[in-house]
Amino acid sequence: MKKKFLSRRAFLAQSAAAAAAPLILPTGVLAAHGRPGANDRVVTGHIGIGGMGSGHLGALKDQAGALCDVDQNHLKRAREIVGRAVDTYTDYRRILDRQDIDAVVIASPDHWHAVQMVHACEAGKDVYVEKPACNTIAEGQAMMRAANRFGRVVQVGSQGRSTPAAHAACTYIRNGQLGQVQRVDCWHYENPVGGLKPDCDPPPELDWDMWLGPARWVPYNPDRVHFNFRWFLDFGGGNIRDRGAHVFSVVLWCLNLDHAGPVRVSATGEPPHEGIWDCPTKMDVTYEFKNPDITLTWSQPGTKPVDSAFGAVYTGTKDKLIVLGGDGGCKTEDKAMNYAPPADGQRVFKSPGHRENWFECIKTRQKPLMNIEAAYRVAALCVLGNVSYRLGRPLEWDPVKEIVAGDEQANRMLNNPGRGPWRV
């Protein structure tokens, strides 16, 4: 088995050539109260165009109709990527107001995902929103309600399910090659320590208040913005919410648990010894599922069975399987890659590509592979792990009522009231 795997950026680069071709749909398949673009091309609006957002824009530049970011430097670079005149905004609502925009790609920081996705659904736009789907349980519930109420096609950017390796692993496991899976053990390297710079005034090119949006107000700090938001529990939640949203996506898919949740979550961790980044450096989380009985663990750093930054070991009553990564660089063992199910075996949907699957579903109005319901279940694992760590105690989770039994303090942490007009 190869020990190296593709990064998310490499995955985007490899798929860019196919995804960049104009996606043409038959007349009448788009939102009834939005109009298709010229020649029935899906015209996309892009909200958040730093990092992953710039990768999506590079792949979809021929059909991008409007761009939004709160950082003028990001907008300048985005205009260069598109290579033609295109309208730009610092308020995403201006994109949602436009009737010539059919769908939006949301790649803003995590704390913005829910508000922007809900507003996009209300505006009649189909949505591709980056992972993790939500920051809180209440946000995820609101996102599901919005998608269903307004009939929107929502794909979440946990693109591992669209890789050949994840498809092979899912096919292998669902056809009983491991027997009954009893546990899945995930490993990942530690969260970093940092955030040593002092607070200061935001630079003139950044709208700091808009960057914060629904999050509580905090002073500007260069170690708080852009990629660094990941190392704050209030904003990004650390690697369990970043990479965990990839790894857990593949786990729930392979185990056919997209509509299930754990009954108990227990987390421990070591807080950082310096700096303003507050995600635990080391972290161990155990999730207990019932009917079927499965134990899922997330460990930073954990024990690596092979030399790979992150991945998971699936252990069943008959055999084990290693799946590396979980994002666009997903890899698995040859025995799964070479497996062909019998004629009466289970066939697992094979994605043509993550964005491609989204565009196909815009046409058919079917649910995409990483639909918002599935993505919410994944994000809930990440959220509950962090809540258990912050409280320092296990959570008895009711996956039907979606509350923590007998723990009002924990239940209060499942929601973010928002700030100003930014709430769901």
Q: What is the pLDDT of residue 23?
A: 46
pLDDT tens digits, one per residue of 86-129: 999 999 999 999 999 999 999 999 999 999 999 999 999 999 99
pLDDT tens digits, one per residue of 41-70: 899 999 999 999 999 999 999 999 999 999
pLDDT band at 21 (very low <50, low <70, confident <90, very high): very low
CB neighbours (10 Å) of residue 349? 10
State which CATH number among 3.20.20.70, 3.30.360.10, 3.30.70.360, 2.40.10.350 fits the domain covering 161-348+373-412: 3.30.360.10
CB neighbours (10 Å) of residue 334? 10
Is the pLDDT score of 15 beyond 80?
no
> What whole-number distance in Å separates Cα of residue 322 and Cα of residue 2?
11
Q: Where is 188: in which H helix or E strand?
A: strand 181-188
Across the range 143-155, mean pLDDT stands at 98
Q: Which fold has domain 8-159?
A: Rossmann fold (3.40.50)
Alpha carbon of 41 to those of 62, 65, 177, 184, 326: distances in Å?
A: 10, 11, 43, 42, 31
> What whole-number distance in Å separates Cα of residue 19 and Cα of residue 60?
7
Is the pLDDT score of 141 beyond 90?
yes
Tokens of 291: 């009917």
Contacts of 167 (CB under 8 A, 6+ apart): 161, 348, 350, 351
Under DSSP, the state recorded for 34 is S
Under DSSP, the state recorded for 177 is T
Across the range 145-160, mean pLDDT stands at 98
Under DSSP, the state recorded for 24 is B
Q: Where is 269: in which H helix or E strand?
A: strand 264-270
Contacts of 365 (CB under 8 A, 6+ apart): 29, 151, 153
pTM: 0.90
Look-up: residue for tokens 């070479």? 338
Is the pLDDT score of 10 beyond 60?
no
Q: What is the pLDDT of residue 417?
A: 87
Q: What is the pLDDT of residue 177?
A: 98
CB neighbours (10 Å) of residue 99? 11
Contacts of 145 (CB under 8 A, 6+ apart): none
pLDDT tens digits, one per residue of 331-373: 999 999 999 999 999 999 999 999 999 999 999 999 999 999 9
Pick 161 or 15 by higher pLDDT: 161
Average pLDDT, the chain: 92
Q: Where is 19: in which H helix or E strand?
A: helix 8-20
Domain limits, the chain: 8-159, 161-348+373-412
Bridge partners of 395, per DSSP, are: 265
Is the pLDDT score of 20 beyond 60?
no
> What whole-number distance in Å separates Cα of residue 132 and Cα of residue 109?
10
Classify each residue of 187-203 as buried b or exposed e, where b means 16 or more C-beta atoms within 10 Å of its C-beta: bbebbbeebeeeeeebe
pLDDT band at 40 (very low <50, low <70, confident <90, very high): low
| Nearest Cα residue to 263 out of 303, 290, 236 | 290
Is the pLDDT score of 142 beyond 50?
yes
Q: What is the pLDDT of residue 2?
A: 37
DSSP, collapsed to helix, strand or coil, labels residue 241 as: helix
Q: What is the pLDDT of residue 311?
A: 97
| Nearest Cα residue to 203 out of 184, 186, 224, 185 | 224
Alpha carbon of 258 to those of 86, 212, 262, 333, 399: distances in Å?
A: 39, 31, 11, 23, 12
Q: What is the pLDDT of residue 196?
A: 96
Across the range 215-227, mean pLDDT stands at 96
Which strands, in side-by-side order, build the sheet including 264-270?
331-332, 320-324, 310-316, 181-188, 294-300, 282-289, 264-270, 395-398, 403-404
Across the range 192-198, mean pLDDT stands at 97
CB 237 within 8 A of CB 280: no
